[in-house]
Each structure stands twice: as structure tokens, then as C-alpha cells.
Amino acid sequence: MKFYHNPRCGKSREALKLLKEKGVEPEIVQYIKQVPTHAELEDVLQKLGMKAEDLLRKNEKVFKELYKGKNLSDSEWIEAMIAEPKLIERPILVKEDKAVVGRPPEKVLDLL
């Protein structure tokens, strides 16, 4: 399992704690430092069954300053997330051909 994590985020830390309590030690990707590639994000979105725009953190300052009101393609939104990884909703747990956004954190348990 792969866990896209931001250690500064309380929800992300809480989801990771829940996984560890269940004995799960996922591969942790600190996506702010290890920014996913375009192909990786496409793959995660496919596993989530989401459009790129639906994975954006629209309350982030950078979103409001640079992207609010824009109508971009999925590919362009993915490029925006690569340029500004803070825009990626977190946490995300990926297991085989499925993924979930841990909002609320308990959602990650759906993949166990």
C-alpha cells in the first residue's frame, strides 16, 4: 500500500495512526517533497474514480491566487498539482487497483 502523506496535516497524521493501529505499514510518500509525476497522479485519479479538479484543495491560498475560477482540463489540473503539490487533497491511500482519500481519516480503513 502507498500512503500519500503530509506530516504537517492533522488528518493525514490521524489516518496514518489508524493504519498503524491495524498493523499496516504503508509505503509513505511525502508528496510535498516527493512530488508525484503526471503519470502517477493520473493513475491515482483513475483508482479514486475522480476527476483531477475534484482532488484539489480549493481553500489553499495558492489555489485562490492562481486557479480560482479557471476551467482547466484534467491534464492541466494535474500539472497545477505538480507545480503546487499543496493543492493535492490528503491523505490518499492506494492499494492495488483502488484508492481512497482519507477525509475523514477513517475512510482509509475502507481499503483494509
pLDDT digits over 18-32, tens only?
Answer: 999 999 999 999 999
All domains of the chain in start order, with CATH: 2-111 (3.40.30.10)
Active site residue 9: yes
pLDDT of residue 11: 96
Per annotation, catalytic residue among 1, 9, 28, 50: 9
Q: What number of other Cβ atoms are within 10 A of residue 91's Cβ?
A: 28
Q: Residue 39: pLDDT band by 50, 70, 90 thresholds?
A: very high
Q: Give 48-106 pLDDT, tens digit per residue.
A: 999 999 999 999 999 999 999 999 999 999 999 999 999 999 999 999 999 999 999 99
| Alpha-helix runs per DSSP H in the chain | 10-21, 38-48, 61-66, 74-83
Q: Go through 8-25 and write b for each residue having 16 or more CB atoms within 10 A of its CB, e for each that does not.
A: ebebbebbbebbeeeebe
